Structure 1
Amino acid sequence: MKTLTALATVAVIGMTASLAHARDLGPDEALRLRDAGTIQSFEKLNATALAKHPGAVVQETELEEKFGKYLYQIELRDPQGIEWDLELDAVNGQVLKDHQDT
């Protein structure tokens, strides 16, 4: 029983720690970072994502700071109705993740 309790405690601490390292940035902070040149423009980031899936439409975007990095997350829907989740480095525009939403 002690082992089970210890494992549960470790799991909760691990989940809490990972949450502490990621935070969503609000519109004001996102615009401040863009205007300061810290991150790329949202238009450029969107264009990079859309180039991976021609004809797709942006469904949702989010800027997040995780482990000191600015990540731009974007959800797309392509002409066939398939949804895609992409994650870009908001500083240099590199595509970090590109996978079909399940």
Structure 2
Amino acid sequence: MAQARDLGPDEALKLRDAGTVQSFEKLNAAAIAKHPGATVSETELEEEYGRYIYQVELRDPQGQQWDLELDAATAEVLKDHQDN
């Protein structure tokens, strides 16, 4: 079982303000760069094994749903897969 916990908005903002995680605009832009023209439908910040993971759901112009996970500290895309 994965050790992950969802972070609330207040905690997420504190981490952003402290520079621990990238701005949410930058993280969203990194996700959209993988699927140009897509729109963000949902986001979530988790702490998983001591690492902050930013999860993004995108919908591309063709209506396809994509699930991405980014390292919230570096904006590196860790996972990118189509959601059925």
TM-score band w.r.t. shorter chain? over 0.9
Size of the aligned set, in residue pairs, is: 84
- 1:37 and 1:100 map into 2 onto residues whose CA distance is 30
Aligned amino acid, residue 86 of structure 1: L
Please give the residue correspondences for 1:7-86 in structure 2 after superposition, counting only pairs within 5 Å. 15=1, 18=2, 21-86=3-68
Structure exhibiting the larger radius of gyration computed from Cα positions: 1
Q: Return the structure number with greater relative CO, CA threshold 8 A, min gap 6.
A: 2
TM value normalised by structure 1: 0.81
Ranges in structure 2 where 5+ consecutive residues have no aligned partner: none
Structure 1 residues 32-65: Cα deviation after superposition (integer angstroms, max 9, x where no partner): 0000000000000000000110110100000000
Q: Does 1:87 align with 2:69?
A: yes
Larger helix proportion of the pair:
1
Secondary structure at 1:39 match in 2? coil
Query: What is the TM-score when the length of structure 2 is the normalising length?
Result: 0.98
Displaced runs of 4 or more, over 6 A:
none
| Percent of aligned pairs with the same amino acid | 76
Q: State how far apart, in whole Å, the 2-side matches of 1:87 and 1:67 are.
A: 14
Unpaired runs of 5+ in structure 1? 1-14
